[in-house]
Each structure stands twice: as structure tokens, then as C-alpha cells.
């Protein structure tokens, strides 16, 4: 299928990308129309065209993340991550309509052939097909054409702003900005019985604002807003204002506050600077509210992707119900979409349309519609009932809008014939999940070492980019096809944690060698299922415990081998506070930080001591309550069979100037200290020596695994070792839950 791709240098392309797969509980939609949000999308393209210095000034939060990465992984790794983010193309579009082409088994609201309006910057792209969850779609009623329904998402943004304002009949409201959202705000206010004054800088907007119901239109620079408001409101000032402008200065905010009456109200919906001048905000006791996108449910993965609707008795207007309300107003004629539609163009001409909008054309355009193929013509084969799971990618940053959550399903299993392990070089390596972590830390070390088969990802653009960059033979948005045929092959799994176990089981059932990013799994039941499947498989499993492969780590272990007697190690990790918006904060997907991250350090202790862990006690620093109802910090002590002792302090608290990871080891006549795996300091015989290293073992780990796949070396991490570290991690969580030490099974 075709999709618009935007690169970080501002380039736009119309690319051939793989067909998406309906997410669990969702639908696959063949688009007939999509709407270009001129202001928003022009801003995105302009930001992409910024140089690196301009980007850094615009996003200081991202600069801080780069500095943190450089501090813990080194500048080379940090720059590689930045380069990967900058070169990956981004989708455009978030408001569209089309015809349902396929329905996931978990969806009961839609049928193949239904006309639907869809939304979401994570899925409703300018593309021939879109895979969207149930809650981001609404059925189009009779009497509403698809080109009108394509506005439903953008209209919901405006409707939610009006709901936040809570206008009453006869109130006079100033709408600052008459772009697409501002024009729709004007229409909704008029429909609610409010009187509207519209403010814009472009004279071409006057006629559009009047057509959408503005009683008075003021063009900044041509008319005096204060005098116009004074005349229109008998000197009182407007009752309320909605800021729908996009501006980097505070001028729109100051203009609105200046003409508000005493105890007036302001709602901010546009991306504009909002610094409240004290003399206005305090002097008038202004009530300021913000309007977040389409309505309640937006950015809540449990609502949008897991389908957990809010009870209507508690939340009357969710984002989906806002979609439906907008579609109803289109049906009744109370929302005049035709009046703000200034251009309709074939999707094939999309790049020319954007070129026009990036120039002077933006000032004269409002609603710009892209029209796709004849809706009666189906390009793809009809996909019914069974759809493979849409797979989000594993990332070390909060979930991006393009990598939405999903629920895994078990693949159809073929009975494995246990006739011995696979032998000889593998024919290929397939990859499931290609987020920024995989692209920067894993795939560069696979390229050129083994043949790369199919890359599977739920985001078509990034999948296409990964294929071209790393040389994969094929792309897909569903994993089941890579296990369909018999093959002496391997698979790398870098999805979110809740999908690991089911994908490992599916791969082992297909007799594949498996590399899975940590953790191995999230429950003992999943571990038991993996063990049972592995016993009947010709494949193998390696877990991405990379730190045991690092140069600093392997050298330290060799020193400990030469040191007699038990040892003591203290591993201190200053992980930093977990952002509530991170996918790691979704316990269902991540399993929490102990299972998802602390497992690394438990494994490293097992690696250092080369002894069986027998008992662990653990506690949390902060109680598992509030926004994150699971352990965010842990202090654990592990007893090993040879008498060694390991302590892990994994803390979300601390100052960012402190190194992220420090491991101190005490042995007979030896003290050693690891600093972020970049420096190993050794104290022995009253002498201090140090040695520098680079990286935390990702490169060495992948080199060892690919050597095994080529038949040039042994398996680098036997399953028994990964199982042992996983059981230790499970026991640490149980020790927190039980409030006592827990024995670890052999």
C-alpha cells in the first residue's frame, strides 16, 4: 500500500509499505478520505526542517535524555541512538474515513463493509489502509458522506474545547485563531447558542469564519481588537475566550486576557505560548483551562487500545462519543463541513498538495481533503475473522505515538519432532519488533553477520525503513507467516515484555533458535510453558542479558575466578524516576521495573559468582501505592551456594549527576569497582589500576549469538543460566510481597 512518510530533514515521500494488521479488538480500514490538518502538519514539517541546533533549542527535554545516555553508555552509543531517531520516517495524518476491510475476532461492534470515521496520530495516517483500535473508530450514519466523516477527529478536538469552556446561551466568546480547529470551534459555539467573535491574522479567513457562524470577525493588524470588543460587548469584555492559534509568542494569550471581562474564562486548545500576565490573570481572577485532544480517553492505553470504555454515567463524553456527536451534527446539517473545505485532491497528488501548503497556500486553505481509490474497489484480499497480533516495539523511552500497545495471541502450533537440535548455519534471522532499542543496540551488530529474512513491526513506515537500512529480504506486520514454513532459521524478539513468552513458545514450536530481549517472561506459568516447549523443540533460547558479555564484566569475572573463597558484591543502580506516561508504567505490558529491568543485575551477580543463588530477601523504598501500584525501587540481598553474597540497590531516587550503575566487589586481597561498565578499577596489593571499556555488551552479545548461528561457536548463554536468573528475579518480587526471605528453587 502507499503511505506518506516525513523525514527529519523535511523530505516527504509517498512510499510503498506493508499492509497493516488489525490490532487486537480493532479493525483494518481501507481509506476513502483523510483530512490534512494544515496548521498542525505544516508545523511538523517545519520542525523537521530545523537544523540540529534549532531542534535542540525546541526540545531541551530530548537533549537531557541524550546527555543521560552519553553518561551511561558513552557518546558513540548516544549519537547512534540520536541518528536512528532522526533518520526514521514519521507518519502524517490523524483524521480519516473509510470502509472496514477486516475485523479482529475480539471486535463485536463493526462488520466488514461498514463505513467508519477513524482517528489517532498513532494509526489514522494518510495511507491507503489503517489499522485502528475499536475506541478510535465510529460508524458513519446514513446521510453523511465519507469525505465529511473524515473530519470527525479534528472536529472532536474542537468540540472538546467547547465542552471545556461550558458556554451558556447568549454568552459572547472570542475565538483566537481561525485555522481548521478554530473554525470548527466557532461552529460548535454557534450551535450551542453562544455569540462568537473570531480573531485571525489572515484576511482570507474572514469569509470562512462568517460561514461557520462568527457574528463578528476581526483581522489583527487591520482592526483594533480592544475597540471592537468594547463596541460588541457594551464595554464589559467577552465572557470567555478559546485560544485556537498556533504561536511561539505570548501575543494571542495577552490579547485574549486583555479583552476578557472580570472573572472570564479561557480554554487553550492550540499550541501557543501561555504566560499569564499578573495584572490580567490576577486582577480579573481568570479561570484558565486546557483542552486535551479529542476528549476523555485520549492517551489512556487502557481505553484506546485495550477497549476499556468509561461508564457513561461517570464520563458522558468520551473521545469516541465525541466522534459520534460530530457525525450526528454533520447528519443534521448543524455542522457545515462544506463551508470550510477549500481543497480536495487525489491521494496520488499528496506531495504536490503539501508543497503548496508549505508555501503561501496555507493562508488561503482550511479543510484539505485527500481522496483515495474508489471505495467500491478492494485493493487487498478480504481478511476475515482471524488476524495476527499487532506487535508494539520495545523501546527505552516512553511509548511513541506510533508504537501502540497490543495483546499477544498464541500462534497455531505445529507439533515439533524432537530429532535433535538444529545443525549447520541458519538460513536467516527474522526480527519481531524493531523499535529504537533494536535499531540502535541490536540490529547494527546483526547486519553483515547473518542473512536477514523478515522484519515484523506494527508501524509500516518504520518497518520499511528498517528493511532498507539493514537489508532485510521481506517486511510484515504479522509474525505468524515467518513460522509457517519449515526452515533452519532464527528469530530475534524485541517487543514489549508481555509478548515475550507467547512469541518464544510460537518460535520454539516452529523449531527456531530464539534471541529474546530481557526479561525472558513475566510469570512462573509462562516460564513453565517455555520449558515444556523447549524440551520438544530443535531450537534454542538466548535472553538479552547483555551485561554479562561486556568487556568490563568478563574481565572482572576472570579476576574473581583467580581469587579464592566467597565474594561480596554490591550493585547500585540509580535508574531515575519512572515517568507515568512510559509504557513501563503499564504493569500489564512491562511487568514492572523489577521484572523488566532489575533482572539485568540479578543476572550479572549470578554471572560474576558462577554459583547457584539459594535465598533472597528484598524490600521496596517506596510502598507500591498511588500512580504506580508496583515496586519502582528495590533493595535485595542474595545468598549464593558458595557463600558469596550479592546486594542490589535499584533506586528511582537520587541525583542524575551520580553514575547510573556502580558495582563494587570485595574478595580475598581484591577490591574492584565497575563504573557504568565503562571503567574497571582494581585495588590489589596496595596498587590501583584502571582500564577503560566501551559499551555494555550488546555488540559482544550479538557477535557471540551470530557465531553460534553460523556454526562457529557454542551457544553463548545456555537456557539453564537464563532460567536461574529469571527464578531469582521472581523470588525477589515474592520476597517483597511476603515480607520475608524466599528460597530459590534449583
SS (H, E, C) 260-315: EEEEEEEEECCCECCCCCHHHHCCCCCEEEECCCCCCCCCCHHHHCCCCCCCCCCC
| Residues carrying CATH 3.90.180.10, the chain | 2-150+298-371
Quickly name the fold that domain 161-290 has.
Answer: Rossmann fold (3.40.50)
Instruction: For strands 238-243 and 742-743, give the pairing.
Output: unpaired
* C-alpha triplet 319, 324, 327: angle, nearest 5°: 125
Q: What is the DSSP string of 183-248?
A: HHHHHHHHHHT-EEEEEES-TTHHHHHHHTT-SEEEEBTTB-HHHHHHHHTTTS-EEEEEE---BS
CATH architecture for the domain at 2-150+298-371: Alpha-Beta Complex (3.90)
Cα 369 to Cα 466: distance, rounded to the nearest angstrom: 30
pLDDT at position 580 is 76
| Residues carrying CATH 3.40.50.720, the chain | 161-290, 429-543
Higher pLDDT, 592 or 543: 543
Higher pLDDT, 333 or 380: 333
Residue 409 has pLDDT above 50, yes or no: no
Calculate what percentage of the chain has a pLDDT beyond 70. Answer: 87
pLDDT band at 581 (very low <50, low <70, confident <90, very high): confident
| The three cell numbers locating residue 487 | 526452515
Alpha-carbon Rg of the chain, whole angstroms? 29
Least confident of 59-63, 189-193, 346-350: 59-63
Instruction: Identify the three-state secondary structure at position 724.
Output: helix
For the stretch 336-371, pLDDT in tens is 999 999 999 999 999 999 988 887 767 788 999 999
Angle between helices 500-509 and 524-535 (to 10 degrees): 10
Least confident of 22-26, 370-374, 385-389, 664-668: 385-389
CA distances from 293 to 121, 159, 296, 369, 620 (A): 11, 10, 9, 20, 37
Question: Mean of the pLDDT values across residues 423-440?
Answer: 89
Question: Mean of the pLDDT values across residues 98-124?
Answer: 95
CA distances from 395 to 77, 484, 586 (A): 15, 28, 14
Nearest to 488 by CA among 414, 555, 538: 538
CA atoms 122, 124, 125, 131: torsion sign: positive
| The three cell numbers locating residue 502 | 507467547
Give me the chain's average pLDDT, please: 88
Higher pLDDT, 656 or 438: 438
Residue 387 has pLDDT above 60, yes or no: no
pLDDT band at 390 (very low <50, low <70, confident <90, very high): very low
Nearest to 606 by CA among 739, 427, 729: 729
Cα 18 to Cα 26: distance, rounded to the nearest angstrom: 18
| Contact between 129 and 28 (Cβ < 8 Å) | yes
pLDDT at position 398 is 33
Least confident of 384-398, 494-508, 690-704: 384-398
Residue 75 has pLDDT above 70, yes or no: no
Least confident of 8-17, 245-254, 391-400: 391-400
Residue 714 has pLDDT above 80, yes or no: yes
Calculate what percentage of the chain has a pLDDT beyond 90. Answer: 69
For the stretch 130-157, pLDDT in tens is 999 999 999 999 999 999 999 999 999 9
CATH superfamily placement of domain 547-703+714-743? Dihydrodipicolinate Reductase; domain 2 (3.30.360.10)
Q: H/E element holding 616?
A: strand 613-619
For the stretch 306-335, pLDDT in tens is 999 999 999 999 999 999 999 999 999 999
Backbone dihedral angles phi then psi of residue 587, each to the nearest 5 degrees = -60, -35
Least confident of 344-348, 437-441, 479-483: 479-483
| Contact between 501 and 529 (Cβ < 8 Å) | yes
pLDDT at position 402 is 36
Residue 129 has pLDDT above 60, yes or no: yes
Q: H/E element holding 341?
A: strand 341-346
Q: H/E element holding 32?
A: strand 27-37
| The three cell numbers locating residue 518 | 530481557
pLDDT band at 374 (very low <50, low <70, confident <90, very high): low
For the stretch 609-661, pLDDT in tens is 999 999 999 998 766 566 666 778 899 999 999 999 999 999 988 887 888 99
Least confident of 403-417, 475-489, 531-545: 403-417
Q: Which residues contact 412 (CB under 8 A, 6 or more apart)?
A: 480
Cα 597 to Cα 631: distance, rounded to the nearest angstrom: 12
Q: H/E element holding 729?
A: helix 719-738
Question: Mean of the pLDDT values across residues 113-126?
Answer: 96
| Contact between 630 and 597 (Cβ < 8 Å) | no
CATH superfamily placement of domain 429-543? NAD(P)-binding Rossmann-like Domain (3.40.50.720)
| Residues carrying CATH 3.30.360.10, the chain | 547-703+714-743
For the stretch 10-28, pLDDT in tens is 789 999 998 998 999 999 9
Nearest to 586 by CA among 303, 315, 391, 293: 303
Most confident of 104-108, 454-458, 517-521: 517-521
Instruction: For strands 634-640 and 613-619, give the pairing.
Output: antiparallel
Cα 743 to Cα 273: distance, rounded to the nearest angstrom: 57
Amino acid at each position: 500500500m502507499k503511505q506518506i512518510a516525513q523525514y527529519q530533514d523535511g523530505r516527504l515521500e509517498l512510499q510503498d509499505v506493508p499492509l497493516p494488521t488489525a490490532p487486537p479488538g480493532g479493525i483494518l480500514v481501507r481509506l476513502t478520505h483523510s483530512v490534512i490538518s494544515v496548521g498542525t502538519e505544516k508545523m511538523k514539517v517545519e520542525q523537521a526542517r530545523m537544523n540540529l541546533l534549532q531542534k535542540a533549542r525546541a526540545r531541551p527535554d530530548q537533549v537531557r535524555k541524550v546527555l543521560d545516555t552519553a553518561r551511561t553508555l558513552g557518546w558513540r552509543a548516544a549519537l547512534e541512538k540520536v541518528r536512528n531517531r532522526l533518520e526514521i520516517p514519521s507518519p502524517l495524518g490523524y483524521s480519516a474515513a473509510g470502509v472496514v476491510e477486516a475485523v479482529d475476532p475480539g471486535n463485536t461492534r463493526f462488520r466488514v463493509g461498514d463505513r467508519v470515521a477513524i482517528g489517532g496520530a498513532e494509526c489514522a495516517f494518510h495511507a491507503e489502509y489503517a489499522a485502528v483500535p475499536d475506541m478510535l473508530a465510529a460508524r458513519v450514519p446514513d446521510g453523511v458522506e465519507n469525505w465529511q466523516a473524515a473530519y470527525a477527529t479534528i472536529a472532536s478536538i474542537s468540540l472538546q474545547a467547547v465542552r471545556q469552556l461550558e458556554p451558556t446561551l447568549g454568552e459572547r466568546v472570542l475565538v483566537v485563531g481561525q485555522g481548521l480547529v478554530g473554525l470548527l470551534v466557532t461552529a460548535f459555539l454557534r450551535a450551542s447558542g453562544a455569540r462568537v467573535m473570531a480573531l485571525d491574522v489572515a484576511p482570507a479567513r474572514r469569509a470562512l469564519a462568517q460561514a461557520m457562524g462568527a457574528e463578528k470577525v476581526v483581522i489583527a493588524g487591520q482592526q483594533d481588537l480592544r475597540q471592537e470588543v468594547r463596541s460588541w460587548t457594551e464595554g464589559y469584555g467577552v465572557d470567555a475566550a478559546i485560544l485556537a492559534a498556533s504561536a511561539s509568542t505570548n501575543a494571542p494569550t495577552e490579547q485574549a486576557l486583555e479583552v476578557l471581562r472580570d472573572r472570564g474564562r479561557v480554554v487553550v486548545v492550540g499550541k501557543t505560548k501561555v504566560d499569564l500576565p499578573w495584572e490580567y490573570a490576577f486582577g480579573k481572577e481568570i479561570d484558565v483551562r486546557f483542552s486535551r485532544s479529542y476528549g476523555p480517553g485520549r492517551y489512556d492505553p487502557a481505553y484506546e487500545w485495550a477497549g476499556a470504555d468509561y461508564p457513561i454515567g461517570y464520563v458522558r463524553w468520551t473521545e469516541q462519543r465525541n466522534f459520534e456527536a460530530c457525525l450526528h451534527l454533520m447528519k443534521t446539517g448543524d455542522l457545515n463541513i462544506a463551508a470550510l473545505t477549500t481543497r480536495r485532491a487525489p491521494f496520488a497528488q499528496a506531495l504536490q498538495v503539501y508543497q503548496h501548503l508549505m508555501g503561501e497556500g496555507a493562508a488561503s486553505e482550511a479543510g484539505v481533503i485527500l481522496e483515495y481509490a474508489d471505495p467500491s474497489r478492494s485493493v487487498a484480499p478480504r481478511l476475515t475473522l482471524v488476524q495476527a497480533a499487532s506487535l508494539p516495539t520495545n523501546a527505552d523511552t516512553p511509548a511513541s505515538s506510533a508504537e501502540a500497545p497490543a495483546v499477544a495471541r498464541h500462534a497455531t502450533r505445529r507439533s515439533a519432532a524432537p530429532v535433535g537440535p538444529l545443525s549447520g548455519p541458519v538460513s536467516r534471522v527474522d526480527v519481531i519488533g524493531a523499535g529504537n532499542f533494536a535499531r540502535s543496540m541490536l540490529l547494527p551488530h546483526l547486519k553483515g553477520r547473518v542473512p536477514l529474512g523478515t522484519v515484523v513491526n506494527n508501524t509500516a513506515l518504520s518497518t520499511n525503513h528498517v528493511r532498507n537500512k539493514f537489508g532485510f529480504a521481506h517486511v510484515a506486520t504479522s509474525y505468524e507467516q515467518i513460522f509457517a514454513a519449515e526452515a533452519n532459521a532464527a528469530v530475534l524478539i524485541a517487543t514489549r515484555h508481555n509478548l515475550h513468552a507467547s512469541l518464544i513458545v510460537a518460535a520454539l514450536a516452529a523449531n527456531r533458535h530464539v534471541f529474546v530481549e530481557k526479561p525472558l517472561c513475566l510469570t512462573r506459568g509462562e516460564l513453565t510453558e517455555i520449558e515444556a516447549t523447549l524440551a520438544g523443540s530443535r531450537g534454542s533460547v538466548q535472553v538479552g542479558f547483555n551485561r554479562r558479555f561486556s568487556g568490563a564484566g568478563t574481565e572482572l569475572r576472570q579476576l574473581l575466578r583467580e581469587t579464592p573463597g566467597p565474594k561480596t558484591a554490591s550493585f547500585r543502580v540509580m535508574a531515575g524516576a519512572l515517568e507515568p506516561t512510559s509504557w513501563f508504567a503499564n504493569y500489564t505490558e512491562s511487568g514492572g521495573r523489577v521484572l523488566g529491568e532489575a533482572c539485568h543485575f540479578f543476572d550479572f551477580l549470578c554471572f560474576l559468582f558462577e554459583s547457584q543463588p539459594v535465598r533472597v530477601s528484598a524490600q521496596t523504598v517506596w510502598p507500591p501505592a498511588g500512580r504506580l501500584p508496583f515496586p519502582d525501587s528495590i533493595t535485595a540481598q542474595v545468598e549464593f551456594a558458595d557463600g558469596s553474597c550479592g546486594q542490589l540497590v535499584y533506586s528511582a531516587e537520587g541525583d542524575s549527576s551520580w553514575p547510573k550503575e556502580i558495582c563494587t566487589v570485595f574478595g580475598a586481597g581484591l577490591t574492584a569497582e565497575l563504573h557504568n561498565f565503562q571503567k574497571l578499577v582494581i585495588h590489589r596489593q596496595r596498587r590501583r589500576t584502571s582500564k577503560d571499556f566501551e559499551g555494555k555488551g550488546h555488540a559482544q552479545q550479538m557477535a557471540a549469538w551470530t557465531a553460534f548461528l553460523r556454526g562457529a561457536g557454542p551457544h553463548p548463554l545456555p537456557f539453564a543460566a537464563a532460567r536461574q536468573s529469571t527464578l531469582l528475579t521472581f523470588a525477589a518480587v515474592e520476597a517483597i510481597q511476603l515480607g520475608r526471605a524466599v528460597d530459590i528453587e534449583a
